[in-house]
Amino acid sequence: MNDHGHISVRTYWNVFGGLMLLMGLTIGAYYIEKLVLPLPEIVAVGIALLIAFTKTALIVTFFMHLKVSSRLAQLFAASSFVWLLIMFMITMGDYFARGWPAQTGPLS
């Protein structure tokens, strides 16, 4: 892979611009949800998380030079998120199936 791919200062600035835009979006979504139309909870949580993920993706690829660094570093970055996913999926699976807290669902 090339010595060290060069990310120009301009890209930094418009990445920063993008982040600010997303920031505005999150705050906007918050106030809309609070004042205008109270969305069902899952949707509100979904939007907030989606924006957070896009922000993270932007930071990771550009600011942390992941785009230009070795495939190995990219593998490590991806693997940490995959492992997080593993932990979440299986544990939440148990909680969905168990009907915890006690008052809902079948008595396992």
Partner 1 sequence: MATTSHEHGHNPALQHHFDTPEQQREAATLGMWAFLTTEIMLFGGIFMAYAVYRWAYHEVWALAATHLNTPLAAINTVVLLVSSLTVALGVHAAASGKQRQVVLLLLVTILLGAAFLGIKVTEYSEKFAHCAGYANPITWISGGATLEEAECLVPGQQFHFPVGHGAEEASSLPNIQRNAQLFYLLYFCATGLHAIHMIVGISIMAVLAWMAARGRFSSEYYTPVEIGGLYWHLIDIIWVFLFPLFYLV
Partner 2 sequence: MYVIGKQWMWHVQHANGKRENNELHVPIGQPVRLIMTSQDVIHSFYIPAFRIKQDVLPGRYTSLWFEATKPGEYHLFCAEYCGTEHSLMIGTVIVMSLNEYQAWLTTPGDVIMPDGSIQAGQVLLNPNTSGPQLGPSLSDPMAVAGEQLFTSLGCAGCHVEAGGGTGPSLRNVFGYTQTLADGSTVLADENYIRTSILTSMKQIVQGYQPVMPVYEGQISDDQLNQLLAYIVSISNRGGNAPASVPVAEPQPSPAPTSVPAPPSAGGPFDADLATKGEQLFNNLGCVACHQDSGLGLGPRLRGLYNRQVALADGSSITADAAYLQESILNSAAKVVKDYNPIMPVYQGQLKDDEVRQLVEYIKSLTE
Partner 3 sequence: MSTSAIPQNYTSTRADSATEWIKSWLLTVDHKRIAILYLLSINFFFLLGGLAASLVRVELVTPQGDLMTADMYNRMFTLHGVIMVFFFLIPAIPAVMGNFLVPLMIGARDLAFPRLNLLSWYLYMGGGVFALVAAITGGVDTGWTFYTPFSSSYSNSNVILTMSGAFIMGFSSILTGLNFIVTIHKMRAPGMTWFRLPLFIWANYATSLIQILATPVLGIALLLVMVERVWRVGIFDPALGGDPLLFQHLFWFYSHPAVYIMILPAMGVISELISAFSRKRIFGYEFIAFSSIAIAVLGFLVWGHHMFVSSQSVYSGLVFSFITMLVAIPSAIKVFNWTATLYKGSISYRTPMLYALGFIGLFIIGGLTGIFLGVVAVDIHVTDTYFVVAHFHYVMVGGTIMAYLGGIHYWWPKMTGRMYNEAWGAISALVVFVGFNMTFFPQFVMGYLGMPRRYHVYPEEFQIYHVLSTAGASILGLGFIIPIIYLTLSLFVGKVAGPNPWAATGLEWSIASPPPTHNFDQTPVVTEEAYAYPEDAAAQDSDSWQAGSHL
Q: State how far Cα 54 lies from the chain centre.
A: 6
- Residue whose token pair is 């609070």: 34
> What phi and psi values does residue 73 have, to the nearest 5 degrees?
-60, -40
Q: Closer to partner 1 by CB, 81 or 107: give it.
A: 81
CA distance 1 to 67: 11
100 touching partner 1, by CB under 8 A: yes
Q: How near is the Cβ of 65 to partner 1 at its closest, in Å?
A: 8
CB atoms within 10 A of CB 51: 19
> Which of partner 2, partner 1, partner 3, none is residue 93 near (CB under 5 to 8 Å by kind)?
partner 3
> Closest CB to partner 2 among 35 and 101?
101
What's the burial of 41, exposed, middle or buried (CB within 10 Å: 0-12/13-18/19+)? exposed
Residues near partner 1 (CB under 8 A):
3-4, 6-7, 9, 12-13, 15-16, 19-20, 23, 26-27, 29-30, 41, 44-45, 48-49, 51-52, 55-56, 59-60, 62-65, 69-70, 72-73, 76-77, 79-81, 83-84, 87-88, 91-92, 95, 100-101
